[in-house]
Structure 1
């Protein structure tokens, strides 16, 4: 009897968690289609296949839903961008894969940051995630330069792997995914090569 009850509770908890994930994913998907200011709970409920009452039961309010969606998206992004530390080619492949999946959504968020305080916070969080990724993934390369030069070196690598570089090559230039990755890899490698060159001491 206890086993059956425990199984029932586990199944119920899994169902609750799955509903929660479905609502969060629906919220993120809708934010790729319209301004977050335009998204109402009824939209999310319809997309997730639940009722607005269910959303409120899980998240308390629209604000609570968007806060949870922001955290959920951040955690997914961090996982998607995990790359072998110090392996530049692998890192570029990983970040391009990430932009192929979410780059257009990120660009849409960036376009809204001046008109929506919530989006601005999301964007600021994203910038922090990107900088942390650069500092972690390229740590061996950054450790090869002096402490005084390290911030400038990290800036350069952050630029080389930024979503706007992907957009310029992939969307504006219309390059293939492979050519986009190749150009971003060449750019990042050139920066790393410069870091290890003694003549490169004129960075400010």
Structure 2
């Protein structure tokens, strides 16, 4: 039974991975079960036996993708350099795919759901990873600082630096670290220092 269960899980994993791979090559609306079956090396009947329908398959693929993203982005809490290295790792692997999904969100409900989930995951990652820094921020300012940290570590920031500016990875990480550190420093300095800086 254990061997059979492992084989079933491996087949499911291969099918779900095939959905994600195909979504990097064509619009989600264009992907049909036959495409997935061919990529996964299974039959359409096998897919339907595991997931029930195309919608069931894509729902499962979205949840699978969420788990993969969360796993890939685990970083030491409070360690800014490690956090930036981790999120850049993630974008190096998936950033172009994410940008492709973002380009479909206004025309495809499925893509809109995927990127919406991604935004939630990213904000949760910021709140968790930078928790020690955020705890030093006045409560009234905390949500605004989370917003700034989300922007500093967002996939669009990575794209601007890596794709639009054509910077190397090291320079990209350095600029993102500078942004994050500047946000944290500004948000956690004493109020009197902030007032003096504003005068």
Task: Normalising by structure 1, report the TM-score.
Answer: 0.93
Q: In the aligned structure 2, how far is the partner of 1:183 from the partner of 1:40? A: 41
Helix, strand or coil for the counterpart of 1:149? helix
- State the SS of the aligned residue for 1:193: helix
45, 64, 74: which one aligns with 2:56: 64
Residue matched to 1:18:
10
Partner of 2:125: 133
User: Which ranges of structure 2 fall in alignment gaps of 5 or more residues?
Assistant: none
Q: 1:54 to 1:160 in 2, by over 3 A?
A: same
1:200 Cα deviation from its structure 2 partner: 3.7
After TM superposition, list the pairs within 5 Å mapping 1:19-98 onto structure 2. Answer: 19-98=11-90
Measure how far apart 1:146 and its partner are. Answer: 1.0
CA distance in 2, matches of 1:200, 1:17: 55
The equivalent residue for 1:169 is 161
- Deviation digits for residues 44-91 of structure 1, max 9, x if unmatched? 001001110000000000000000000000000001000111111110
1:158 equivalent to 2:134? Answer no
What SS class does the counterpart of residue 140 from structure 2 fall into?
coil
Distance 2:8 2:141 in 1: 50
User: d(CA) in 2 for partners of 1:200 and 1:119?
Assistant: 42
Cα distance, 1:10 vs structure 2: 1.0
Alignment length, in residue pairs?
A: 195
- Rounded Cα–Cα distance in structure 1 between residues aligned with 2:118 and 2:141: 24
5 Å-filtered alignment, 1:111-126, equals: 111-126=103-118
User: Deviations 1:68-126 (Å, cap 9, x if unpaired)?
Assistant: 00000000000100011111111000000000010000000000000001111111110
> For 1:131 and 1:177, how far apart are their aligned partners in 2?
23
* Stretches of structure 1 lacking an aligned partner (at least 5 in a row): 1-8
Of 168, 171, 181, 2:173 maps to: 181
Give matches, 1:97-108, under 5 Å.
97-108=89-100
Q: Matches of 1:34 and 1:177 in 2, distance apart? A: 27
Q: Scaled by the length of structure 2, what TM-score is found?
A: 0.95
RMSD: 1.3
Matched with 1:4 is none
